[in-house]
Structure 1
Amino acid sequence: MNIDKQKIVPQMWSQLTDSAKHNQEVYTKVAKHLDEGQTASVNLLVNQMMDVIMEIYKDKKTEELTALDVACAAGRCGAGLRNFGWLGPIDGLDACKEMLEAAKTKNVYRTLFQEMISLQSPLPIENSSYDLIICFGGLSFGHIPHECIEMLFDLLVPGGIFVFNYSDYTNSGSTIKYKASLEERFENLKTKHELIRMVSNCSFNIICFTQQKQSILPTCSTKTVL
């Protein structure tokens, strides 16, 4: 069967809804074709994200640091991080078995976790395990509940970095509501942890989680990504 590569990702996005169960069915169908269907705009944004991450860590020995790729899908971000020079272990987490099978072929992940992030399902990962967490495309209704954001922050070591973007797959405006709810949770988290937003724009966000340990990020505060 011939597959129009240029339509894989747009068609996938058009089928996504606010239902996590439905979305997993969509991802299962496209997993093995996702890499060949990535759009130029997605690849550009991923490359921009990796470039900024490596700029942050340019004076650090990344072989001594550990990263987690949340909602890793077929492994585009994990592979990008490695290609841009990250030397330390990279783990991946996704709810879709077929996506993880595709991610495994990249040969960049130390461990792949098949987990649906929810308040009812604690993650099988110890807190304070990662220096860097990337979440590309996972923060949206029908994906990672905004109520679970603290679960991800708990996985960061003090001074760790959380890099993410918002995704409006359904074009329904639901992302505006999701973003508002998530931003409110960030504000509430400030009473428990020191969170420093280093980059915030329409493309992606970088937040530094600091507690007891000094942030490594002062040089990134003026970095702008278009």
Structure 2
Amino acid sequence: MSSTESNNVKSGQDSKYQRNFGAHIPGIQNQQVVDYYNQWAKNYDGDLDSSVYRGPQVAADLCNIFIPDKNLRIIDIGAGTGFCGYFLKQHGFTQIDAIDPSASMIEIARSKNIYQNLFVEGISGDQKTSIETGTYDVGVLSGAFGEGHIPCEGVREIARLVKPNGYIILVMRKEYLSYVKEYENKLEPLMNGMVDEGVWSKHACFEVENYSFDKTGLIYVFKKN
């Protein structure tokens, strides 16, 4: 690759990073995040393709490792336009639903014929979704945590959606734990506290390189009690 081509690639990646950062600006509120995704939806797939964002594929690959039964029900939380769902389907999973607060993102996901049911709802810390308790065998999240995204207490709602002995696979950017005020010294203690409460058990926690824009990802795998 010539220096000109290399510079063009870097410039393109920088532009994609800036558009992604627009949904994660410090202090951004949840409704602002939803509004941003609604506007960004039509260009989202091109901006966050697998060359810069590996999170959805990592999450789907983990489902493939931990979930041998491809007919179990999965809820893709913060599904966006359906990246993770696409990779889940590639792995042979057949019963996948999606939930995301952005109507525009959900409509694009719907057009891909990946999901059986799609819910235009967010995961909050103080209000349940319309989904019944214990509906799913697996809850999977990739990129659903960030500034103005799912709050810490949202993990309780995520756990509520999953059946006893079901799995929750959560993939996020590691650095968010150190500078997103909502998560700093709060998210991990809460998740560990849920272990102590007997809500779930922690089966795995490890890092993955080049999760998103060369940033390190953090993976949690919980099993619902």
1:127 — aligned with what? Answer: 133
The answer as to 2:38 corresponding to 1:38 is: no
1:143 — aligned with what? Answer: 149
2:7 — aligned with what? Answer: none
Deviation at 1:150, TM superposition (A): 0.7
Provide the rounded CA distance (Å) in 1 between the counterparts of 2:174 and 2:36. Answer: 16
1:73 to 62, 75, 80: 80
The answer as to whether partners of 2:60 and 2:87 remain within 8 angstroms in 1 is: yes
Provide the rounded CA distance (Å) in 1 between the counterparts of 2:139 and 2:224. Answer: 14
Q: Taking structure 1 as reference, are residues 8 and 172 closer, same or farther at Cα in structure 2, changes over 3 Å only?
A: farther
1:216 — aligned with what? Answer: none
Q: Deviations over 1:154-196 (max 9, x none)?
A: 1111111111122479x89533761531111112212232412
2:64 — aligned with what? Answer: 54
2:189 to 172, 179, 184: 184
- Give, as a single letter, the amino acid of the residue that structure 2 aligns with 1:55: I
Q: Deviations over 1:20-47 (max 9, x none)?
A: 12212211111011112224131x3432
1:222 — aligned with what? Answer: none
Q: Taking structure 1 as reference, are residues 61 and 119 closer, same or farther at Cα in structure 2, changes over 3 Å only?
A: closer
Provide the rounded CA distance (Å) in 2 between the counterparts of 1:178 and 1:56. Answer: 26
Provide the rounded CA distance (Å) in 1 between the counterparts of 2:193 and 2:178. Answer: 24
Count, aligned residues: 202
The answer as to whether partners of 1:131 and 1:160 remain within 8 angstroms in 2 is: yes
Q: Deviations over 1:81-135 (max 9, x none)?
A: 1012212x11101111100011111101111111122234321011111111111
The answer as to whether partners of 2:138 and 2:168 remain within 8 angstroms in 1 is: yes
CA RMSD, 1 decimal? 2.5
Structure 1 residues without counterparts, runs of 5 or longer: 212-226
Q: Taking structure 1 as reference, are residues 83 and 103 closer, same or farther at Cα in structure 2, changes over 3 Å only?
A: same
2:21 to 4, 14, 17: 14
Provide the rounded CA distance (Å) in 2 between the counterparts of 1:148 and 1:82. Answer: 26
Deviation at 1:10, TM superposition (A): 1.7
Q: Taking structure 1 as reference, are residues 7 and 107 closer, same or farther at Cα in structure 2, changes over 3 Å only?
A: farther
- Give, as a single letter, the amino acid of the residue that structure 2 aligns with 1:97: A
Q: Deviations over 1:186-221 (max 9, x none)?
A: 12212232412323224232322242xxxxxxxxxx
Q: Taking structure 1 as reference, are residues 148 and 53 closer, same or farther at Cα in structure 2, changes over 3 Å only?
A: same
The answer as to whether partners of 2:80 and 2:106 remain within 8 angstroms in 1 is: yes
1:154 — aligned with what? Answer: 160
Provide the rounded CA distance (Å) in 1 between the counterparts of 2:156 and 2:177. Answer: 26
Structure 2 residues without counterparts, runs of 5 or longer: 1-10, 208-215
Deviation at 1:148, TM superposition (A): 1.7
